[in-house]
């Protein structure tokens, strides 16, 4: 079973910042939080991963509070091409295990 | 490096038939995982193979089987197809120790069972 809870869908306009929050109340001490993006009829693609506080890369930021029971993916200035399904996953970084996906959040960006 | 490739892209089968899906992993990767994605749902884990040995299995019936070859490519076999097996089948490759982060997915095989 997925260990995360996300909103089913979100709407936004081009140029806005989008924040998608994921709940993971039962996260283990050694679990990392990872986000994937999936476009229709394509395989998921890694976006960002973090363990605590804040992580930033060229496409997104990930905010993780001290209790680690939730995390927020932040997409700055979204464009139409950011319309996709976003998945939050948790798991042991060292395990090399399979990914357990939930239903994800469908983000729709309009002009 | 072509990344993870899958064949065929699309496939139509009849109930009761058998199907074999193929996956070529990314260069340097020794772990392959298979996922089934039904429309509107997230991918569901089927199998994981590491160095040609099964390392994990999801909640799928015995009609589903897989194997990994010495070159780390993989095949997924499904016997006695049901209408409910219609889905996008995804293959992902990774290296040992990469965990959640470095899983590279192929484009998938769209299987339709009629």
B32-44 pLDDT, tens digit per residue, is 999 999 988 999 9
Query: Does B101 touch chain A if contact means CB atoms closer than 8 Å?
Result: yes
Candidates A24, A55, A98: best to mutate against B (most CBs of B within 10 A) is A98
Instruction: Give the nearest chain A residue to B104 (CA atoms).
Output: A45
Q: CA–CA distance from A99 to each of A4, A42, A69, A108 (Å)? A: 12, 16, 19, 24
pLDDT at B40: 86
Query: Which tokens is B26 given?
Result: 């990314």
User: What is the interface size between A and B, counted as CB pairs within 8 Å?
Assistant: 78
Going by pLDDT thresholds of 50, 70 and 90, the confidence category of residue B96 is low
Residue A95 has pLDDT above 50, yes or no: no
| DSSP letter string, chain A | ----B--SEEEEETT--EEEEEE-TT--TTEEEEEEEE-TTS--EEEEEESSEEEE-SS-EEEE-TT-SEEEEEESS--GGG-EEEEEEEEETTT-PPP-----EEEEEE-
> A99 and B35 in contact by Cβ < 8 A?
yes
A:38-67 residues touching chain B, CB 8 A cutoff = 41-46, 49
> pLDDT of A7-60, one tens digit each?
999 999 999 999 999 998 888 888 888 899 999 888 999 899 999 899 999 999
Nearest CA in chain B to A35: B101
Nearest to A43 among B44, B92, B102 (CB): B92
Least confident window among A71-75, A89-93, B16-20, B24-28: A89-93
Candidate from A43, A94, A96 with C-beta closest to B107? A43
Task: Name residues whose C-beta falls within 8 Å of residue B111's C-beta, 6 or more positions apart in sequence.
Answer: B11, B12, B13, B19, B21, B78, B85, B86, B87, B88, B89
pLDDT above 70: residue B25: yes
Residues of B in contact with A94 (CB under 8 A): 97, 99
| Pairing of β A53-56 and β A61-64 | antiparallel
């Amino acid at each position: 079973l997925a260990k995360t809870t996300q909103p089913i869908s979100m709407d936004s306009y081009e140029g806005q910042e989008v924040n998608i929050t994921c709940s993971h109340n039962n996260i283990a001490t050694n679990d990392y939080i990872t986000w994937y993006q999936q476009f229709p009829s394509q395989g998921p693609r890694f976006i960002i991963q973090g363990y605590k506080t804040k992580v930033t890369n060229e496409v997104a930021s990930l905010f993780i509070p001290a209790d680690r029971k939730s995390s927020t993916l932040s997409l700055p200035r979204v464009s139409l091409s950011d319309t996709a399904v976003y998945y939050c996953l948790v798991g042991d970084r060292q395990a090399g295990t399979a990914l357990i996906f939930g239903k994800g959040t469908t983000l729709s960006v309009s002009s | 490096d072509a990344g993870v490739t899958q064949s065929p892209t699309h496939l139509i089968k009849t109930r009761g038939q058998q199907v074999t899906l193929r996956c070529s992993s990314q260069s340097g990767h020794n772990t392959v995982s298979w996922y089934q994605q039904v429309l509107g749902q997230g991918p569901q884990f089927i199998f994981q193979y590491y160095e040609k040995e099964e390392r994990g299995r999801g909640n799928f019936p015995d009609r589903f089987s897989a194997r990994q070859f010495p070159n780390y490519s993989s095949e997924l076999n499904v016997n006695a197809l049901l209408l409910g097996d219609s889905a996008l089948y995804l293959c992902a490759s990774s290296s040992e120790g990469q965990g959640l982060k470095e899983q590279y997915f192929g484009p998938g095989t769209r299987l339709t069972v009629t």
